[in-house]
């Protein structure tokens, strides 16, 4: 039974959101139903955090963490690769593509993976990722289960694109799509924006809920039944992303680590990437905006910067630990974003500048819930070409140049 108007009214009143019903009388029967259903399933509790950004996630004591660096990896490459290949071939490793984000900085309405970075031919971001994964599929001569997280905003566009492109040659039996949850998006006073007169503005609730969503969709159970013990979680926007990298998988298994995190040497102390560290003695990631001048200047015993390795959103999680992590509440992050909404006259606007807050949980916070983490260095120029913007740093332009350097035809 759907929520009745009176109940919806009471819920909104409790959270100071009665403006959501402002246009109710002019809505069609279908629209009224849709809005009541959205009110019923929306968690307004997060909106209370709007004015409390500063005290939301207090940080513990940050100290350096040991990173497995390139020279050490080289000496053990053969052994690790062998261990990794065995695990992958046996079907014990799956891959999770986080593709639920909105990619607002790129400025395209389509899912980010649909973006074409080709110059002389089509090279879609999704295609680059599949091609990279296929390198390993060919090595082990077995398909690697791939789970793709989408959101309400891009699910249809993503699944139909994959279908239209024939999954870029991947066996569709090994690709499973699932959707993440949405969170309300609000102005700076915590008032939820309306996207339409019958719909509140919502945005994907961050990349931290991926395993919970896999469970919700029944994907996690099937995966565990299939014998998957490790999940390599990765971002959609790094077109040089190595997925199910045998040497990385082997290193994490061989060192008895609970999770592995691929890291690169930071290009500058203030580079906008999260740096691996220990926080109150547990593995953690200090975000670039939490990097104090002291942390940026700190040196290790060798005189190298102590927080010199940035995460690239490529983690290998042990499935049995994920069950425990999801039971805990990850911290909530408030992110300022451009939120399309209705103005005071009920007309749609597409803001040029950030106009409010979205609420996200982040995959990097999962690391802090685990007892051990292996930060594993990779060669930056070979594995890290993120596309966040159209031009400049971390852009389509810089990623194209890195593809060229790696001999990838565009
Ligand atoms: P970003 O933090 O770069 O966010 O995502 P975004 O939404 O893609 O881009 P902007 O900030 O709006 O420009 C890092 C990775 O996490 C995924 C993204 O798809 C990307 O792979 N992600 C992000 C999700 O899967 N869900 C989310 O809610 C947010």
Residue 346's Cβ-side half-sphere holds a number of Cα atoms within 13 Å equal to: 11
Verdict on whether the full-model pTM lies above 0.75: yes
Expressed in angstroms and rounded, the spacing between residue 120 Cα and the centre of ligand 1 is 28
Q: Which of 290, 257, 295, 298 is nearest to 365 (CA)?
A: 290
> Does the pLDDT of residue 10 top 90, yes or no?
yes
Give just the sign of the alpha carbon dihedral 135, 137, 138, 139: positive
- The pLDDT of residue 56: 65
- CA 315 from chain centre, in angstroms, equals 11
Residues 218 and 306 in one domain: yes
Give the Cα-Cα-Cα angle 93, 382, 372 (nearest 5 degrees). 45
What is the rounded CA–CA span in Å between residue 69 and residue 377?
Answer: 5
Residues 106 and 190 in one domain: yes
Determine whether the shortest distance from the Cβ of 208 to ligand 1 is under 6 A.
no
- Residue 218 falls within a domain, yes or no? yes
Residues 118 and 20 in one domain: no
307 in helix, strand or coil? coil
What is the rounded CA–CA span in Å between residue 176 and residue 223?
Answer: 10
What is the rounded CA–CA span in Å between residue 392 and residue 374?
Answer: 31
Tokens of 121: 């031919």
pLDDT above 90 coverage of the chain, percent: 82
Q: Which of 354, 408, 353, 359 is nearest to 385 (CA)?
A: 408
- Residue 121 falls within a domain, yes or no? yes
Determine whether the shortest distance from the Cβ of 361 to ligand 1 is under 6 A.
no
> Does the pLDDT of residue 287 top 60, yes or no?
yes
- Residue 371 falls within a domain, yes or no? yes
What is the rounded CA–CA span in Å between residue 240 and residue 193?
Answer: 37
**How far is the CA of 38 from the CAs of 2, 11, 186, 209, 289, in angstroms?**
10, 12, 15, 20, 34
- The pLDDT of residue 337: 86
**Closest C-alpha residue for ligand 1 atom 2:** 101
Residues 177 and 316 in one domain: yes
8 A C-beta contact, residue 219 and residue 178: yes
For 297, the enclosing helix (H) or strand (E) is helix 293-297
Tokens of 366: 């999962």
Residues 8 and 94 in one domain: no
Tokens of 258: 């609970």
Residues 160 and 110 in one domain: yes
Residue 52 pLDDT class (50, 70, 90 cuts) = low
- The pLDDT of residue 46: 86
- Residue 230 falls within a domain, yes or no? yes
- The pLDDT of residue 55: 60
8 A C-beta contact, residue 171 and residue 162: no
- Residue 410 falls within a domain, yes or no? no
Residues 295 and 334 in one domain: yes
Expressed in angstroms and rounded, the spacing between residue 75 Cα and the centre of ligand 1 is 35
- Residue 47 falls within a domain, yes or no? yes
Among 110, 154, 207, which is best to mutate for testing ligand 1, by the most ligand atoms less than 8 A from CB?
207
Expressed in angstroms and rounded, the spacing between residue 378 Cα and the centre of ligand 1 is 22
Expressed in angstroms and rounded, the spacing between residue 126 Cα and the centre of ligand 1 is 14
> Does the pLDDT of residue 270 top 70, yes or no?
yes
What is the rounded CA–CA span in Å between residue 294 and residue 204?
Answer: 34
Residues 8 and 96 in one domain: no
Determine the atom of ligand 1 nearest the C-alpha atom of 337: 12
Give just the sign of the alpha carbon dihedral 364, 365, 370, 375: positive
Least confident of 223-232, 323-332, 389-398: 323-332
Expressed in angstroms and rounded, the spacing between residue 300 Cα and the centre of ligand 1 is 32
Torsion over CA of 163, 383, 390 and 292, rounded to 10 degrees? 130
Determine whether the shortest distance from the Cβ of 236 to ligand 1 is under 6 A.
yes
Residues 120 and 166 in one domain: yes
Give the Cα-Cα-Cα angle 39, 43, 48 (nearest 5 degrees). 115
What is the rounded CA–CA span in Å between residue 7 and residue 13?
Answer: 10
Residues 37 and 58 in one domain: no
Determine the atom of ligand 1 nearest the C-alpha atom of 235: 21
> Does the pLDDT of residue 377 top 70, yes or no?
yes
- The pLDDT of residue 15: 95
Mean pLDDT of 3-24: 95
**Closest C-alpha residue for ligand 1 atom 15:** 235
Tokens of 407: 């001999």
More confident residue, 239 or 2: 239
> Does the pLDDT of residue 1 top 80, yes or no?
no
The number of folded domains in the chain is: 2
Residues 123 and 248 in one domain: yes
Determine whether the shortest distance from the Cβ of 213 to ligand 1 is under 6 A.
no
Residues 314 and 181 in one domain: yes
Q: Domain span at residue 21?
A: 1-41
CATH of the domain at 109: 3.90.550.10
């Amino acid at each position: 039974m759907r929520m009745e108007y009176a109940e919806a009214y009471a819920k909104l009143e409790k959270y100071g959101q009665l403006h959501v019903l402002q246009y109710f009388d002019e809505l069609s029967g279908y629209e009224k139903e849709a809005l009541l259903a959205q009110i019923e399933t929306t968690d307004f509790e997060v909106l209370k955090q709007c004015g409390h950004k500063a005290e939301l996630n207090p940080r513990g004591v940050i100290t350096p963490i040991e990173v497995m660096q390139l020279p050490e990896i080289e000496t053990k490459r053969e052994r690790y690769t062998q261990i990794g290949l065995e695990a992958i071939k046996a079907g014990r490793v799956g891959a999770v593509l986080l593709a639920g984000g909105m990619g607002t900085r790129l400025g395209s309405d389509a899912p980010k993976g649909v973006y074409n970075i080709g110059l002389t031919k089509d090279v879609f971001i999704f295609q680059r990722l599949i091609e990279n994964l296929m390198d390993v599929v060919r090595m082990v001569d077995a398909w690697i289960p791939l789970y793709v997280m989408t959101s309400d905003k891009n699910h249809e566009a993503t699944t139909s694109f994959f279908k239209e492109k024939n999954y870029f040659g991947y066996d569709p039996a090994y690709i499973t799509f699932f959707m993440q949850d949405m969170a309300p998006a609000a102005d700076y006073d915590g008032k939820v924006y309306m996207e339409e007169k019958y719909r509140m503005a919502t945005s994907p609730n961050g990349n931290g809920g991926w395993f919970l969503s896999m469970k919700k969709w029944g994907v996690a159970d099937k995966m565990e039944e299939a014998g998957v013990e490790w999940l390599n979680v990765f971002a959609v926007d790094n077109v040089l992303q190595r997925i199910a990298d045998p040497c990385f998988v082997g290193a994490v298994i061989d060192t008895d680590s609970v999770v592995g995190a691929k890291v690169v040497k930071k290009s500058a102390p203030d580079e906008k990437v999260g740096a691996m560290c220990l926080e109150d003695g547990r593995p953690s990631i200090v975000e670039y905006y939490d990097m104090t001048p002291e942390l940026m200047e700190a040196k290790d015993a060798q005189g190298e910067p102590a927080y010199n390795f940035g995460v690239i959103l490529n983690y290998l999680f042990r499935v049995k630990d994920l069950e425990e992590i999801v039971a805990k509440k990850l911290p909530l992050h408030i992110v300022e974003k451009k939120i399309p909404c209705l103005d005071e006259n009920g007309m749609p606007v597409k803001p040029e500048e950030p106009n409010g807050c979205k609420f996200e949980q982040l995959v990097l916070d999962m690391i802090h819930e685990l007892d051990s983490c292996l930060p594993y260095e990779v060669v930056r120029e070979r594995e890290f070409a993120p596309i966040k913007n159209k031009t400049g740093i971390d852009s389509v332009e810089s990623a194209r140049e890195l593809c060229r350097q790696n001999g990838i035809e565009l």
